[in-house]
Structure 1
């Protein structure tokens, strides 16, 4: 699943590609992706101009003035801009927005899990439950250390499961959970409420730094991720533990292992990340 850095890079790409374009027609061959159905999207968006693209956590917010498409890519969703409607159609194309200049924004989704919901701009949190409960963005300005510490103190669950909870901090997924826990030297199974103040700060700072680094490097392309320009990210070359089971730890040389935490594949170094207490 694309995590915050990947979705942010999609946002940056789409901003360059489609802001200012006007929709002529909306089409789909898998209507379930469009919450409310094709007719709703076609009626509301025909003649509407893309005014901007925002992001909240892993959600894209495609603005059309008074209306917004809330788009979640889920496991495999991706956007591409075709220069013309006659450009050969790729596999897994399920939704398309044809613009008045003849270009076409295409949404591809191998698993068809992604969803688009049309809402009134400014009422996204009322209409989309995931946005209503979303935690803070992981930036120095918005991710408060004291609030993070208080949230962890209430949770007995493994720390990895807690930081994957989007109500605690927005945008962290499986890749960056593993990476930030390695950077902070915290065992992924450590109960969240047993972390020391020093460990909480180390994790807080690692989340901010690692996600910003991943944004700068274009995201992680360990599986199928590409941005709106079709480019792969470079963050996969900087990963220390994710998808590296059986290889030596970059810090101490101990073999990285893979376990399950909350039904999620989890990678860590047994030496650098011992379970404490």
Structure 2
């Protein structure tokens, strides 16, 4: 599943290709794609602004906020002629210059919503359970400490909770824990304010670096525009099981933490 940096890569690429594009027609082939509202409301709208909240893409048109979540394998493609092979294409947005914006999703998990434009995105049903983005200045060490220090959950599951910090997924949670020297199984109740400040700083550093390198292209995620992420070349522990730790040389292990594949160095990462 694409995480914050990968979604940012896609939204930035779409902005380069579609800024102020006019949608002249919409075809929806998989009705469950529409979670709230109707995509046909976008007919006659120009796409004015492109942004992201966590793993959600936000397209602001003249009158609507169009929200999209690609989930596991969703991709956007821009074609100069109508695609003949429409397998796994669940929506086509016709543009005024003759191009076609197509949403492709082999597993059909992606969802989209259309709402009347609002200044408060968190008030929208699709985003009501999404917290502050990892780039948001509200996310500080004190904020994270207040959110998690009463919880008996482990650190990794707190990092994956999109209600606390939005945009972190499994790959980056593994990398964040390693960079902080913390075992992902550490209890939130045992983390100090200093730990939380470090976690926030490291989170921003790692995810911003991943964004600058085009994200991480592993498993099922790849940009629909041929943009190959280079951050996978910088992964320290994720999918590195059996290899020596880049910090101490101890063997990196793979364990399961609440059914999530988790990579760590037991020698470097302290369990609290």
Alignment TM-score, normalising by the size of structure 1: 0.92
- Using a 3 Å threshold, how does the CA distance of structure 1 residues 35 and 135 change in structure 2: closer, same or farther? closer
The runs of 4+ residues in structure 1 deviating greater than 6 Å are: none
2:198 is equivalent to residue 212 of structure 1:
no
Which of 145, 166, 182 is the equivalent residue of 1:170?
166
Q: What are the superposed Cα offsets for residues 11-35 of structure 1, whole Å, 9 maximum, x if unpaired?
A: 1001111121111211132221123
Which of 257, 262, 265 is the equivalent residue of 1:266?
262
Shift of 1:41: 2.2
- Tell me the equivalent position of 1:16: 16
CA distance in 2, matches of 1:221, 1:91: 23
Which of 93, 98, 117 is the equivalent residue of 1:97?
93
- Tell me the equivalent position of 2:123: 126
CA distance in 1, matches of 2:61, 2:200: 35
Q: How does 1:137-216 map to 2 (within 5 A)?
A: 137-139=133-135, 141-216=137-212
Note the residue ranges of structure 1 that are not aligned, 5 or more in a row: none
2:72 is equivalent to residue 75 of structure 1:
yes
CA distance in 2, matches of 1:140, 1:52: 18
Q: What are the superposed Cα offsets for residues 170-201 of structure 1, whole Å, 9 maximum, x if unpaired?
A: 11100000000000000011101101333222
Alignment TM-score, normalising by the size of structure 2: 0.94
Q: What are the superposed Cα offsets for residues 239-261 of structure 1, whole Å, 9 maximum, x if unpaired?
A: 01111111111111111111111
Q: What are the superposed Cα offsets for residues 20-70 of structure 1, whole Å, 9 maximum, x if unpaired?
A: 111121113222112357xx322x122211111111111111111111211
Which of 43, 46, 71 is the equivalent residue of 2:43?
46
Shift of 1:273: 0.9
Partner SS state of residue 178, structure 2:
helix
Q: What are the superposed Cα offsets for residues 54-99 of structure 1, whole Å, 9 maximum, x if unpaired?
A: 11111111111111211011111111111222x5547522211111
Shift of 1:132: 2.0
CA distance in 1, matches of 2:20, 2:224: 16
- Using a 3 Å threshold, how does the CA distance of structure 1 residues 76 and 68 change in structure 2: closer, same or farther? same
- The CA RMSD measured in Å over matched residues stands at 1.7
Contact 2:145 2:192 in 1 (8 A): no
Contact 1:184 1:202 in 2 (8 A): yes
Note the residue ranges of structure 2 that are not aligned, 5 or more in a row: none
- Using a 3 Å threshold, how does the CA distance of structure 1 residues 235 and 36 change in structure 2: closer, same or farther? same
CA distance in 1, matches of 2:220, 2:84: 20
The alignment covers a number of residue pairs equal to: 271
- Using a 3 Å threshold, how does the CA distance of structure 1 residues 88 and 240 change in structure 2: closer, same or farther? farther
Contact 2:131 2:163 in 1 (8 A): yes
